[in-house]
Structure formats: C-alpha cells, structure tokens
Amino acid sequence: MDVMIQLQRQLREHSAFLRKEGYLDDQFEQLQKLQDESSPDFVVEVVSIFFDDSEKLLNNLAKALEQKAVDFKQVDAHVHQFKGSSASIGAMRVKNVCIEFRNYCEAQNIEECLTCMQKLQFEYSVLKNQLEYLFRLEQQIRAAGV
Amino acid sequence: MERNVFVSRRRIDGFDVSPSDSAEAHVLAVDDSLVDRKFIEKLLKISSFKVTAVDSGRRALQFLGLDEETSSSVGFDGLKVDLIITDYCMPGMTGYELLKKIKESSNFREIPVVIMSSENVIARIDRCLEEGAEDFFVKPVKLSDVKRLKDYMMREVRFGSTNSGGTNKRKLQESCDLTSSEPSISSLSSSSSDSPSRSPISPSSAPSSIPTPLDSPVRRLKMTNAGGLI
C-alpha cells in the first residue's frame, strides 16, 4: 500500500516537473486523454513510434550536415518532419529547437545549424530519458495494483 | 447543385447518415507521418468513425480506385468513403494535389475533404478552400476538430448545402488569429507563421462564443469571392 502511494506521488511529481520545465505541453495531456480500455498502451505506442522516427531523423540530419555542400532544403525537410512529430506528442522543447533550426536552414547558416543539431540531440536525449522514467513509474504502479 | 445530387444519391443507396449514428461513417486519413497517422486514427475512432489510414496521396487514390492504373471506381475493399482528411505536406503528392484530383473526379468529388497542416499559412488555407476543401485543421489536431467532422456529413445529408456559412470555418479563424498578425503570402516558409506555443485558448474547450473578427482571412476571402470568382 505504501509502495503504491509513493509511486503515485512520484508519478504526479514527475509529470508536474515535465510540464513545468516545458519538456511537455498540453498536447501530451491530449494524448493521455485518448488512452482508454480499448487502447490501454496508446501513449507508450505512439511515443515509441516517435522515438523510432526521431532516431532515424537525427541520423539523416547528421548525414545531411556532414556533406561538403550542405543541402539546406533537405536538412529543412528533416527538421520539418521532426517538428511535426514532436508537436504531435507534445514534446515542446524539442519542437522549439526545431523551429529555431528551420530559421537557420532558411538563412543557410551552417554554424548555427550545427549548434541547433547539438541542441536537438541533447533535448531529444533528455526527453527520451524523462519519458522512459515516466513510463516505468506507470508500469510499476500497474504491477503494484495487481 | 451538386451537393443535392449527392444527398439524394445517398438516400437512394439506402445509406442514411442519421445525426446520432456516425458509426457508419468511414473516414480515409492520409498522412506520411506514422506518429500522426496513429494519432488521427485514434481521434477518429474515439469519435465513432471507421478509419482507413494510408501513408500517401497515391495510396489514397488507389484505395478509392482513382489511380490511373486501375479504372474501377469502387474502393478496393468495397467500403464507401464518407470523408477524406489529409495532411498537406507530403512527399510525392501533396494534400492539395490529392484534393484537386478528388475534386476533378466525377465519382469522388462529392466526398468532403479536410486538410491538416502544421503550418498556418493563409495563402495555403485559401488555396485549399478555393479548391473545395471543407476545412483546414492546424496540427496538432484536436478532438473537438474531429468531432466537428460529423457536421460536414450531416450538413450534406440534411441540408444539401455546399456553403457552410461561417460556423465550420470557426476553427480556421481562431487558428489564423492566433499566429503572427502578418500573414505569410505565397511562400511556404515557416518563419512568419511559426510560433512556439499554440494558443491562449484551452485546447479542451471548443469556444463557440469567440467573436470572429471582421478582418479574418476566411471572411475576407468569402466577401471577395462573393461573385464566385477566384
């Protein structure tokens, strides 16, 4: 019983922290609201797809930025995709880096693009860790409730 | 008008979309992003629609039976499509190009089409509406947006009108007003239309009493196009 209460408190606090620090916005809550008995793992499923997508995009971005003659339109296309998927799951910080990144693509500023790339990798890694922790807590709560 | 024909054709087919029964309505969702497909599919299912989700305009046309290679006009699994909701930015065929193809088809032009886009570009919205799109949703799409899709089908069955007046463009007006005051004209650049946060309006509310400003782009469009000229 104590374990359950503690876990639930941790979950609440972690969720509030993610919102407060801007890792996640309202859209994540919208995702959670869509989860129901017919799709009890909906959020985890969508976020897993997001992780897979993101890793591919980051790879593609890294390759595109390594080129001697960087194709900014291509880079922008990848960032645009990333922006879209991060917005769809409520990953606000990641999304905001994408917005900044796109501006530098348009300006064809390679230095700033490279900086954004690093920021993006960083924000994505942090977010991934935060969400995995969140999901672990939820899983533990479910297990403790059985 | 064409929409009245659509109404009577539906009744003749015995396909009656009653207000309370949208479980019959079948929506074809088109988006190249898997994340977004999963999301829109869920929104649609929760709103009691049957959903078929495809990843490209080409596949959407194939599903409808409109692909150049096939001449059949029946959707390939025989299910009627009652509405198409498509992303705008897709590789290969854009949502706009898909919209055009559908509106050019004698068999499918009656199907209401809604466009989704992460970019709130006025020129883009105008272009889609002019081409016959029913509405334009800014991503991320809300449950309240999807719930409104029933209106497009309902309206056609009950009233047979093409012009939905101002009400279902309400969302458009809200989303247009929320971004920068300077509309981006013809470029697809995101710099003038992007904003880091979505809106001050709570996503879970569907405000119906927000006054629509007279200079809203959709209203302006309707006024200037009053003569039917584009």
Instruction: Supply the CATH number for residue B125's domain.
Output: 3.40.50.2300
CA distance A14 to A11: 5
What is the number of helices (H) and of strands (E) in chain A? 6, 0
| Residue B27, φ and ψ in degrees, nearest 5 | -110, 135
B7 within some domain: yes
B33 and A84: CB-CB below 8 Å?
Answer: yes
Q: Which residues of A touch B203 (CB under 8 A)?
A: 26-27, 30
B50 within some domain: yes
* Residue B39, domain extent: 2-174+211-225
* Structural domains in chain B (count): 1
Task: State how far residue A105 is from chain B, nearest Cα, in angstroms.
Answer: 11
A92 and B191: CB-CB below 8 Å?
Answer: no
Structure confidence at residue A145 (pLDDT): 82
Low-confidence ranges of chain B (pLDDT < 70): 1-23, 68-79, 154-230
Task: State how far residue B40 is from chain A, nearest Cα, in angstroms.
Answer: 10
Among the listed residues B89, B170, B103, the one whose alpha carbon sits nearest the alpha carbon of residue B131: B103
Among the listed residues B140, B169, B138, B139, the one whose alpha carbon sits nearest the alpha carbon of residue B152: B169
pLDDT tens digits, one per residue of A49-105 = 999 999 999 999 999 999 999 999 999 999 999 999 999 999 999 999 999 999 999
B204 within some domain: no
Task: State how far residue B151 is from chain A, nearest Cα, in angstroms.
Answer: 22
- Which class would CATH give A2-143? mainly alpha
B190 and A81: CB-CB below 8 Å?
Answer: no
B51 within some domain: yes
CA distance A111 to A116: 9
pTM: 0.73
pLDDT tens digits, one per residue of B60-93 = 999 998 876 555 545 455 568 999 999 999 999 9
